[in-house]
Amino acid sequence: MTDYIPKDVRSSAILTTSYVAGTVLQPCNQYDQLIVLVNFTKGSLTSLEVKVEFSPDGTTYYQETASAVSGGTSTDTLLEHTMTATGNYRLPIPIKDHYIKISVKGTGTVTGSAVKVVAILGNDN
């Protein structure tokens, strides 16, 4: 990558059972790559869920999607990244959006859990 801009999205903190957004990244449209680094301590949780959303205007957000293709039909669903073990995770995502919002939540009992999120913006030239 010719550029390498790491940004703290969320400091390490205990999770909640509802999505909590980190610092919204902007402007991002001059970059074509996003790497989301997730440092997760599971504690008593069942899992961590990470949601990534994109917006052209900072008001209307579009959630990352996944496609499953079968018999010529593409079925798209809203994507949530789920982690079930303590660890350091790396999520590479191609981008071309002005605003990016990364949210996290825990499922189960939040005791002893923590997550830190860092985003790296760059260009793959």
pLDDT one digit per residue (tens) for the chain, 125 residues? 446 778 999 999 999 999 999 999 999 989 999 999 999 999 999 999 999 999 999 999 999 999 999 999 999 999 999 999 999 999 999 999 999 999 999 999 999 999 999 999 998 76
d(CA 95, CA 99): 10
**pTM listed for this prediction:** 0.91
Domains delineated in the chain: 5-65+76-122 (2.60.120.1050)
